[in-house]
Amino acid sequence: MAKVAVLGYGTVGSGVVEVLDTNADQVLESAGEKLEVKYILDLRDFPGDKHETQVVHDINIILDDPEIEVICETMGGIEPAFSFEKSALERGKSVCTSNKELVAAHGPELEEIAKKNGASYLFEASVGGGIPVLRTLNDSMKHEKIDSVTGILNGTTNYILTKMDKEGTGFATVLKAAQDKGYAERNPEADIEGYDARRKLAILASLLSGKYVNSEEIYTEGITRISIEDFEYARTLNMAIKLLAICRKNENGVLLNMVAPFLIPYENSLANVNGVFNAISVHGNMLGDVMFYGKGAGKKATASAVVADMIDIIKHRGKHININMKAEPATVVSKDNAVRSFFVRVPSQCKEQALEVFGRDVDEVRNDNVSGEFAFVTGDLSERDFEEKLWKMDSVKGYIRLY
């Protein structure tokens, strides 16, 4: 029997307890022994809850109990989660977590502490919710030279973009409806500005590089300036608009990371990932392309991934499960030299200027439902050249990169 503690009895934490209760037989079979929740740490009491007697309010009760082997942190945020995880690992207790903010900020450092103390630090649920992508990268694909990871890593923005596309409704209206239904947070900034996706990308990029990628240094654009007119043109182009998180690694291990909306041809599988679903496409030098698809959020899916980590830790009792991440900073380059085409919209009166600046060989995109503007796709340009050209224009209604 293994004794575990759950920190934070909110959505994911209560989900973890539920998975352990509901799938107790399967967990027993997988781990080889029963997993018992000895403590649940929360500021609140839960009178009437099946597990009310396990609720404690002092982290030291858990840290000081030698029976506790695994601590599952589902509180979220940086503090006190960071201090709690660090203290647990320093005492040789293994930690698993869904806390993407903390893993993005301190994951490599916590992994080093785990290693030093013979414990393990696992965080499958921090990227792609229930999708088992990190374990696969760290295990089945560890022998591959992975040179790219491209993901739809945020369910809220994918839901909004899908609704805008299918229903022809504007961003603000769809966001409001999503908030009313509880699909989007009351404070949606982290999702719609791309910050949530870039944290998840930083975790993936750190794993790819074996070092630390600072999420705040990742170039990030959110979806707030995407309009229904953009979707009209996208349909003309046979493309979808998706918020992509991209990491590319060159032969020398140098990374290029970015998060931004992209136009993707319908024939690309990522274009067909709709609603709250997430997908991550990985390219390995021997394996080729592999795509992971599933629920990137939600109580049970996320909790299932946390329980998978717990089981892994128990199966490897006494051993450190090595995660390819060190606290040393990864070498990253800016997006400036990345070359691609761009879709651009300018007011009709700027057409001539656009042709002078971007060249007369741009491909015009027409759509009968949009008037008063000139829309086109550029030839291949570096990001830096594109930006310089944009600055030369008197007015630009919008632009989206082509994938």
Measured N-to-C along each axis, helices 351-358 and 383-392 cross at an angle, to the nearest 10 degrees, of 150
Quick one: how many helices (H) and strands (E) in the chain? 14, 19
Pick 156 or 206: Cβ nearer ligand HSE? 156
Cβ atoms of 289 and 165 closer than 8 Å? no
Shortest reach from residue 298's CB to ligand HSE, in Å = 8
Query: Which pair of tokens denotes residue 123?
Result: 């965080």
Question: Looking at 137-206, which runs of residues are DSSP E strands?
Answer: 146-152
- In angstroms, rounded to a whole number, what is the distance separating the alpha carbons of residues 273 and 240? 10
Cβ atoms within 10 Å of 39's Cβ, excluding its own: 22
Start-to-end C-alpha separation, the chain:
50
Pick 195 or 376: Cβ nearer ligand HSE? 195
- In angstroms, rounded to a whole number, what is the distance separating the alpha carbons of residues 378 and 104? 35
- In angstroms, rounded to a whole number, what is the distance separating the alpha carbons of residues 343 and 354? 12
Pick 54 or 99: Cβ nearer ligand HSE? 99
Shortest reach from residue 129's CB to ligand HSE, in Å = 6
In this structure, what are the phi and psi dihedrals at residue 402, rounded to the nearest 5 degrees?
-100, 135
Pick 165 or 196: Cβ nearer ligand HSE? 196
Does 200 participate in catalysis according to the annotation? yes
Pick 27 or 192: Cβ nearer ligand HSE? 192
Query: Which pair of tokens denotes residue 26?
Result: 């399967």
Pick 39 or 277: Cβ nearer ligand HSE? 277
Pick 191 or 373: Cβ nearer ligand HSE? 191
Q: Which of 38, 93, 100, 200 is catalytic?
A: 200
Mark 177-205 as b/e (b = at least 16 C-beta within 10 Å): ebeeeebbeeebebbbbbbbbbbbbbbbb
SS3 197: helix
Size of the chain in residues:
403
Cβ atoms within 10 Å of 360's Cβ, excluding its own: 7
Query: Which pair of tokens denotes residue 317?
Result: 């009792």
Q: Scanning the structure block, which residue is given the tokens 């990190």? A: 134
Pick 191 or 312: Cβ nearer ligand HSE? 191
DSSP-assigned beta bridge partners for residue 7: 41, 73
Amino acid letter, residue 296 = G
- In angstroms, rounded to a whole number, what is the distance separating the alpha carbons of residues 382 and 387? 9
Considering only CA atoms, give the Rg of the chain.
23
SS3 245: strand
Query: Which pair of tokens denotes residue 122?
Result: 């696992």
Residues of this chain that interact with ligand HSE (CB under 6 A) are 129, 154-156, 191, 196, 296-297
Mark 214-232 as b/e (b = at least 16 C-beta within 10 Å): ebeebbbbbbbebbbbbbb
Question: Which residues are identified as catalytic?
Answer: 200
